[in-house]
Amino acid sequence: MTAIDNGVNVQALLDARDVLKGTPEAAQFTWRASSTWQNGVHSTTRIQNFYGLGAEQNHKSETVFEADHPEVFAAQDNGITPIEYLLVGLASCLTAGVASVAQNRGIQLRSVEATVEGNHDIRGILGADSDVRNGYNDIRVAFRIDADASQEEIEALVAQSQKRSAVFDALTNPTDVSVSVS
Amino acid sequence: MLTERSIDHVVLERGEVANSWRRERWDSLRLLTPNWQTGLPGLRYDGPDPDGYLTAIELAGFLDRYAAFSGAPVRTGTTVTSVRRTGDGYRVATDRGELDCRAVVIASGACNRPSLPPFAAAVPPEIVQVTTFDYRRPDDLPDGGVLVVGASATGVQLAAELRRSGRPVTLSVGEHVRLPRTYRGRDVLWWMDASGVWDQRHDEIDDLERARRLPSPQLVGTPERATLDLGTLAAMDVELVGRWAAVRDGRALFSGGLRNVVALADLKLDRLLGTFDDWARSSGQESATPPQRPAPTAVPPSPRLRLDLCGGEIRSIVWATGYRPDYSWLDVPVVDPKGRLRHTAGVVDGPGLYALGLPVLRRRRSSYIHGIEDDARAVVAHLAGHLAAAA
Ligand SMILES: Cc1cc2nc3c(=O)[nH]c(=O)nc-3n(C[C@H](O)[C@H](O)[C@H](O)COP(=O)(O)OP(=O)(O)OC[C@H]3O[C@@H](n4cnc5c(N)ncnc54)[C@H](O)[C@@H]3O)c2cc1C
């Protein structure tokens, strides 16, 4: 195989997989975010540390996310809406998956573009119609990928990326969510 | 093979010969492997229909013939309740007394218990639930809608039979293996055999663990040699939904990833057929029928994500979610946390302990009846070596 480089250290991932098979405790991660209400529907969420490999871990720096509603909702638009953050997660997760799978399969990528669209009937959140769900009705992801590979191989990359995607799973399968007040 | 090597042995069976085929299968079951593939060392299918598929009872008859032909010392009605290590071998406790031996071959099968997801317990009690161990025929189920869970060989066969009985059927589809019954004029399993796919050895397979967990292919053995895939079922008005992920508030929640598992299965099928075509070209097996590709599976435009289990639409659930082995009687630490035997090509992690009849034990072929011959030969050779070294 000629040396291809998508910038993904697949060897490290494969090594981690082998190690974690025997030490499932170390594979338990907890991701955290903490948010503060600002005003109106505007809030600020910060992400800095997480838990994994049996210890507290830190990102190199803190990331700050502003969430708000747009002016058409009579809000200040200090940031994107919470449900748009799901699109950010899905697009970046599937893209990361495409790069990793391509690296593992020896496929050189030149460009990967994705457009994500989620259809949302807001009558649900407004309580205007009880048959309408609150969340997205459906989400469409369109990839445009330029790579040294056949169309079939590219389709297989995208399919495998969905199969191993944390966010795809989180969106397509139910998750137990508990909310408490202290 | 043990007799050929003059190794003193007994075969312990809790039921009778071919017990699983007599007691643990549904009425309409036929093998999905064609008759010409059905064979055990020294005895092959020799009936009038080599391209047909045996019923479970016909196979039980074949195994009876084999037991007589091989003269194997089978002690039926003898349940093994414990196997433990002793100084130079094993003590086997049964409901008919104890036995000491120097080696044990575990051939208790890979499919002793149904494998059910934990949320099966959260299904409302009004709904009748059956596994593939209890299901015999459509009449066993109440009239009304059936939810069949799992779309491998068992699930697609039962979904089709229940739909034909007039019941509305919903099929929950997770990862699956799509196969056409025939390809380029031959049984698809002829291609698996001839092209060498089934000869792939355990140490040549990239992800052996995955290969061993691979669900059975969507195949059925019928006289018409008909294909039974998701497209066939959709045309029969079976409703396809995604993998069943949870029960919440009396509702079944299905994954929204149906499209992807279908796309994965279509892509894998195309790759497999490509392997067959390459092999045909390089081995001069070109037949009159040119390579072809089945149409991609059509996925319903908006598969249902939720189904109310209390509303009466669904009266029964058939769990076709696979099987697991039962080693509760094995008191030797050779079973992994997932309940599977730790072994390399049938040689278990304990001196004088062997396994046969498990998926991809030595080769892909090992998952099938006709895979036993080579596996048994290799395992018996190792066993004989062990006895000789210990002697
Ligand atoms: C639904 C289904 C369909 C299949 N279709 C096909 C097919 O079409 N073609 C094909 O080639 N393969 C098929 N297979 C696979 C095939 O069943 C196996 O390859 C084959 O049965 C393995 O034979 P075995 O004797 O190792 O195991 P089994 O047939 O499972 O026999 C194990 C025996 O061990 C006995 N036993 C278990 N525990 C104890 C104990 N503690 N004490 C005493 N006895 C015990 C059981 O009673 C049983 O008789 C199918 C499997 C299933 C489940």
- Which residues pair with residue B178 across a beta bridge? B218
Instruction: Specify the DSSP element, H or E, that contains A154.
Output: helix A151-163
Give B188→chain A minimum CA distance, Å. Answer: 22
Yes or no: say if B186 and B161 are a contact pair by the CB < 8 Å rule: no
pLDDT value at B286 more than 80? no
| Domain range enclosing B270 | 116-323
Please give the average per-residue pLDDT across B212-218, as a whole number: 95
User: What residue type is B153 in one-letter code?
Assistant: A
Give A174→chain B minimum CA distance, Å. Answer: 7
Provide the pLDDT confidence category of residue B289 given band limits of 50, 70 and 90. Answer: confident
Instruction: Specify the DSSP element, H or E, that contains B171.
Output: strand B169-172
Residues B41 and B123 in one domain: no
Residues B269 and B244 in one domain: yes
Tell me which of B295, B323, B351 is where a domain ends.
Answer: B323
Residues B216 and B78 in one domain: no
Query: Looking at the domain assignment, is residue B384 inside a domain?
Result: yes
Residues B374 and B315 in one domain: no
- Report d(CA B110, CA B131) in Å as an integer: 16
Q: Which residue owns the Cα nearest ligand 1 atom 27?
A: B109
pLDDT value at B160 more than 70? yes
Residues B212 and B360 in one domain: no
Least confident of A64-68, A110-114, B347-351: B347-351
Q: Which residue owns the Cα nearest ligand 1 atom 36?
A: B108
Query: Looking at the domain assignment, is residue B6 inside a domain?
Result: no
Yes or no: say if B279 and B271 are a contact pair by the CB < 8 Å rule: no
Under an 8 A CB cutoff, do B264 and A169 touch?
A: no
For CA atoms A134, A135, A138, A140, give the dihedral sign.
positive
Tell me which of B299, B323, B347 is where a domain ends.
Answer: B323
DSSP category for residue B198: G
Residues 122-151 of A with CB under 8 A from B: 138
Residues B237 and B355 in one domain: no
Residues B315 and B355 in one domain: no
Provide the pLDDT confidence category of residue B378 given band limits of 50, 70 and 90. Answer: very high
- Report d(CA A74, CA A69) in Å as an integer: 8
- Report d(CA B81, CA B331) in Å as an integer: 9
Which of B22, B37, B84, B111 is the best mutation target for the ligand 1 pocket, counting ligand atoms within 8 Å of the beta carbon and taking the most? B111
Under an 8 A CB cutoff, do A173 and B257 touch?
A: yes
User: What residue type is B297 in one-letter code?
Assistant: T
Ligand 1 centroid from CA B157, angstroms: 19
Query: Looking at the domain assignment, is residue B380 inside a domain?
Result: yes
Q: Tokens for B384?
A: 């004989």
Residues B248 and B188 in one domain: yes
| Largest distance between two CA atoms of chain B | 68
Yes or no: say if B266 and B178 are a contact pair by the CB < 8 Å rule: yes
Q: How far is CA A72 from CA A75, A79, A81, A135, in A?
A: 7, 13, 12, 19
Say what percent of chain A tops pLDDT 90.
Answer: 85
Tell me which of B323, B357, B377 is where a domain ends.
Answer: B323
Packing angle of the helix pair A151-163, B258-282 (nearest 10 deg): 140
Query: Looking at the domain assignment, is residue B2 inside a domain?
Result: no
Please give the average per-residue pLDDT across B270-291, as a whole number: 90
Please give the average per-residue pLDDT across A63-84, as a whole number: 97
Q: Tokens for A85?
A: 């953050």
Under an 8 A CB cutoff, do B263 and A159 touch?
A: yes
B243 lies within 8 A of chain A by CB: yes
Is residue B15 within 6 Å of ligand 1 at its C-beta?
yes
Please give the average per-residue pLDDT across B25-35, as a whole number: 97
Is residue B72 within 6 Å of ligand 1 at its C-beta?
no
pLDDT value at B115 more than 70? yes
Instruction: Specify the DSSP element, H or E, that contains B389.
Output: helix B372-390
Yes or no: say if B100 and B86 are a contact pair by the CB < 8 Å rule: yes
Closest residue in chain B to residue A136, using alpha carbons only:
B256
CB within 8 Å of B86: residues ≥ 6 apart: B100
Is residue B108 within 6 Å of ligand 1 at its C-beta?
yes
Q: Could you give the ipTM of this predicted complex? A: 0.79
Give B246→chain A minimum CA distance, Å. Answer: 7
Least confident of B104-113, B215-224, B296-305, B310-319: B296-305
pLDDT value at A2 more than 70? no
Q: Which residue owns the Cα nearest ligand 1 atom 6?
A: B31
pLDDT value at B114 more than 70? yes
pLDDT value at A1 more than 60? no
Average pLDDT over chain B reads 95
Q: Tokens for B105?
A: 């071959």
Residues B50 and B132 in one domain: no
Please give the average per-residue pLDDT across B105-114, as a whole number: 96
Reported residue count of chain A is: 182
Residue A131, pLDDT score:
84
Residue A178, pLDDT score:
86
Please give the average per-residue pLDDT across B135-143, as a whole number: 96
Residues B159 and B183 in one domain: yes
Residue B48, pLDDT score:
95
Is residue B2 within 6 Å of ligand 1 at its C-beta?
no
Residues B253 and B288 in one domain: yes
Residue B287, pLDDT score:
73
Residue B370, pLDDT score:
95
CATH at B331: 3.50.50.60
Yes or no: say if B331 and B84 are a contact pair by the CB < 8 Å rule: yes
pLDDT value at B332 more than 70? yes
- Which string of b and e fits B298-322 if b means at least 16 CB within 10 Å? ebeeebebebebeeeebbbbbbbbb
- Report d(CA A87, CA A92) in Å as an integer: 8
Provide the pLDDT confidence category of residue A108 given band limits of 50, 70 and 90. Answer: very high
Residues B202 and B310 in one domain: yes
Number of domains present in the structure of chain B = 2
Residue B72, pLDDT score:
93
- Report d(CA B354, CA B89) in Å as an integer: 12
Residue B284, pLDDT score:
87
CATH architecture for residues A81-173:
2-Layer Sandwich (3.30)
Yes or no: say if B239 and B170 are a contact pair by the CB < 8 Å rule: yes
User: What residue type is B274 in one-letter code?
Assistant: G
Provide the pLDDT confidence category of residue B250 given band limits of 50, 70 and 90. Answer: very high
